[in-house]
Amino acid sequence: MEKVTIKDIAREAGVSIATVSNVINNKANRVSERKKREIRELMEKYHYAPNLNARSLVAQESKMIGILYYSIKEEIDFGDPFIADLMTGLEFEAKQQGTFILFHGFNELKDIDLLQRNWNFDGFIIIGAFENIITELVKKIKKPMIFIDSYYNLPIEREQILFVNNDDRKLSYEATKFLLNHGHRKIAFFSPKFSLNDDGVVPQRYLGYIDALNEFGVKLDEKLLFSEEKLALFVEEEKKYTASVINSDYLAAQYLYKLRERKQAFKSLVSFDNNLFSQLLDPSLSTVDLRQKEKGRLAVNLINEMLQKQTSERERNIMVEGEFINRDSVLERIEKNDESIK
């Protein structure tokens, strides 16, 4: 059987080629539901799929969104459920909208030039970029952009650039305060390596941690700050703290595994993400639900609205509400006579 074309579908359905095209692109507002169903059934019957390359040339659109994940590491850890949850939201909504996504991790800006030379993206969703990186991306990319988990305090004159975040500072403050309200005063902070010069998610959570300590009159002890590269040290020095704020469920799982390996009892902890396995660990994690899947779905919706020029006046910064989920990983602190652990 010869390859079926859009012209064949239109002829058998008794409509114009433009009508079939509008149904394919979800723009057939004036076509009856019965006729839409008939056209889609014909497409399925003949295994018809639109030629995306041809459509890209004619319409100057590709239905492709680039997902750019910024990391200072050479290798992105796809085992981290944070990434999996976000990608689930992005992919699900893209499929619903008839859009395709291409994921690319980058730690050098030259990657962006190469991508734009080789692919015709309609827009980009960028995850975890720092302020200096965002500044360069705004210069390099002229297509619509949505930034997720990225903070930017400088003015942007261009439209079609939006930011989707949680209020990480506030959420970290609330999680740390929960530990303080349970009697803990020696609270460690365990996270990926960061600098306060990089206005990203981890620095925001660190500031929220300090806000809570200050409110309770607890002096910051920098010896209780541990980066993920020093997991072994974090575990070895567990007598110096009674609880910890851990920057992801994934890091919390690694910490708990290490404790079991050394046959040490767990210390109270709060973490971030509320991934599926946070409920399955022992103890189940008291964690901040960041609604990553929702952020992914929202970003795809927003970029498609911009591409279809349906966007009304919007705030540039869109906040997704997070929520602290209390489970079993925070214990009430019972004071002892040992001054070193008070």
Give me the average pLDDT of each 10-residue run along the chain (342 residues): 81 90 76 89 82 53 89 78 91 91 90 86 94 94 95 88 96 98 97 89 97 98 96 94 97 95 93 94 96 96 85 82 96 60 38
Q: What structural domains and CATH numbers belong to the chain?
A: 6-50 (no CATH), 64-166+292-311 (3.40.50.2300), 168-289+325-341 (3.40.50.2300)
pLDDT for the residue numbered 57: 44
Q: What is the pLDDT of residue 339?
A: 40
Q: What is the per-residue pLDDT for 338? A: 44
pLDDT of the residue at 312:
59
DSSP string for residues in 112-148: HHHHHHH---SEEEEES--HHHHHHHHHH--S-EEEE
Query: Rounded distance, CA 270 to CA 325, Å?
Result: 9
Burial code (b: 16+ CB inside 10 Å, e: under 16) for 134-159 equals beebbeebebbbbbbbbbbeeeeeee
pTM over 0.75: yes
Where does the chain have alpha helices with state H? 6-13, 17-24, 33-45, 52-59, 81-96, 110-118, 131-140, 168-181, 201-215, 231-236, 249-261, 292-307
Closest-CA residue to 272 (of 298, 258, 252, 254): 252
Decide if 247 contacts 191 (C-beta within 8 A): yes
Residue 28 and residue 22 in contact, taking contact as beta carbons nearer than 8 Å? yes
